[in-house]
Amino acid sequence: MTDERPGPSRDTWPIAVCMHGFSALNAGGASVHDAPAEAWDGMFAQLAGLGFSAVELADNFIRPADLEPSRRDELQAIARAHGVRLLSVHVQRKSVIEPGRGEQNLAYAHRTIDAAAELGLTVFSTGLHQPFTAAQQAALWFWTAQGPVDPADADTRRLAVSRLRELGRHAADAGLPMSLEMYEDTYFGTAESAVSMIEDIGLANVGLNPDIANLIRLHRPIEDWRELHAKTLPYANYWHVKNYARDEAADGTWFTSTPTTLELGLINYREVVAQAIDLGFRGAFLLEQYGGDSLGVCATNQDYLRSLLPAAGE
């Protein structure tokens, strides 16, 4: 996952923005996925206006695998007209070991890889997180309620490794890296387990998305963020970045967290970005934010993140 070649510079390093700042449904209840070209045009105009030059297609907004070829062409043309690159696709909450839907989700992921290659995307990203539980849907912040938990039995873990290796080989054939997102209560929910999964999959194009912020926001005891990064960054090939302010009682009786900027949260990104680059990380970043003006915070975070990256010639 690490790369000894010189990396891009501060001004050229690929940094994409998430789509969380848009509603997945319009006022009439229609999906963004099915929206007319005018609606897509308005979205990309906003992104360009905020200074973003790349976007991750999250499949809860737009599913490249389920777009007709003409609509894929339309999406690409609209993005290019605004100077925004379709950088990556993220398949989320469609685990290949989800009970009753694993095989269906696997087939969908294969179709997404094909669509990503046709669109010229540069990263296929996914993970093992599953759809929200009713409690998560009802919570103010979904991470404060218990979600699905990957089973501890060895057979299910072997199935996860086998199916993810199958996707990784397909991605490699399509010329794409595959990145697997760290997420609580999955086989990518701790540093040790995530690294073990990557090593067992055993493909050069398959690495980690070390989204440690998914873990530090939990209202429970957590691993130290420095140790999490130290163990996982050597395997990173794509990186969702966000941050949370966190507080907790010394006796473990309460925990709290809230979204904030990259600069102000618990994780010191100045420290871990430098560490990642020293380790050879050359992958793209993806800016995420929940709550408030998501796009506005991501714009602030982009400026901060670029300030942490090496200038040309350094």
Indicate if the alpha-carbon torsion angle 71, 299, 189, 255 is positive or negative: negative
What are the residue boundaries of the structural domains of the chain, listed by start? 15-305
Q: Strand, coil or helix: what is 217?
A: coil
CA max distance for the chain: 58
Per-residue pLDDT of the chain (314 residues; tens, 9 = 90+): 555 556 798 999 999 999 999 988 877 778 999 999 999 999 999 999 999 999 999 999 999 999 999 999 999 999 999 999 999 999 999 999 999 999 999 999 999 999 999 999 999 999 999 999 999 999 999 999 999 999 999 999 999 999 999 999 999 999 999 999 999 999 999 999 999 999 999 999 999 999 999 999 999 999 999 999 999 999 999 999 999 999 999 999 999 999 999 999 999 999 999 999 999 999 999 999 999 999 999 999 999 999 999 998 76
Virtual torsion, Cα 74, 79, 83, 84, nearest 10 deg: -150
For the domain 15-305, what is the CATH code? 3.20.20.150
β pairing state of 255-260 and 243-248: antiparallel
Burial readout 285-300 (b: 16 or more C-beta within 10 A, e: otherwise):
bbbbbbeeebbebbbb
